Structure 1
Amino acid sequence: MLTITAVIRAKQDHEATMRQALLDVVDHVRANEPSTIGYYVSQDASDPCVFATYERYPDQAAMDRHNNSPAVARFFDIARPILDGDVILVSANEIASKGDAK
């Protein structure tokens, strides 16, 4: 399982725009990416300018489909001018998880 964790900081007073841009990506993933195992977006409880995503993919092809999707391109078109610093990305191989019991 491949994962991406992203930490994204929006400029002050742009939290709602960033939040909506991220939620639009989630809508795209739900509707168009059956091979994406999980796609989670969080907003920091103490600093609403900070967002995080946690993404799970079965293979590189699924990750590439997501990263090269029109939804991700739209997200960065919206996010780029309101980012406060660089997006912190951690790409990893998942080594353990607590999944749903079957």
Structure 2
Amino acid sequence: MVIVAKLKAKSGHEGQMEEIFMNMITKVKDEEGTLIYTLHKSQSDPTAFMFYEKYKDMDAMTFHSSTPYFQELFPMLEPHMDGAPEIEMYEELGGLDR
């Protein structure tokens, strides 16, 4: 189970969003079923962020989205976001993972 989440910051709010995201990462690192949870920032657009998330299974993803810190995430982000997040779910078919 893979999720790609794209979020845009309002101009001038990039630092606040990055701080919120980095705080989230420190909490997610203890989730047993979360295999990958990485934050990326666009090289061409400093307001564009992307999370790549990989979960062991649907139960692990459901657990992640039900945690108190996840439930608090979007209310904290809302004043800093430019538009709604784009969230896509993917099924991994194959590739290289080192």
1:72: Cα distance to partner?
Answer: 1.4
CA deviation profile, 1:41-79 (whole Å, cap 9, x unmatched): 001112111000000011111001111112212221211
Work out whether residues 24 and 71 of structure 1, in 8 Å CA contact, stay in contact via their aligned partners in 2. Answer: no
Q: Which residue of 2 aligns with 1:22?
A: 21
Given the two structures, how large is their TM-score scaled by the length of structure 1?
0.90
RMSD: 1.0
Work out whether residues 3 and 92 of structure 1, in 8 Å CA contact, stay in contact via their aligned partners in 2. Answer: yes
Paired residues in the alignment total 98
Equivalent residue of 1:37, what SS? strand
CA distance in 2, matches of 1:97, 1:58: 16
Given the two structures, how large is their TM-score scaled by the length of structure 2?
0.93
1:97: Cα distance to partner?
Answer: 2.6
1:83: Cα distance to partner?
Answer: 1.2
Work out whether residues 5 and 53 of structure 1, in 8 Å CA contact, stay in contact via their aligned partners in 2. Answer: yes
Percent sequence identity over aligned pairs: 29
Equivalent residue of 1:98, what SS? coil
Question: Which structure 2 segments of 5+ residues have no match?
Answer: none
Q: Which runs of 4+ in 1 moved over 6 A?
A: none
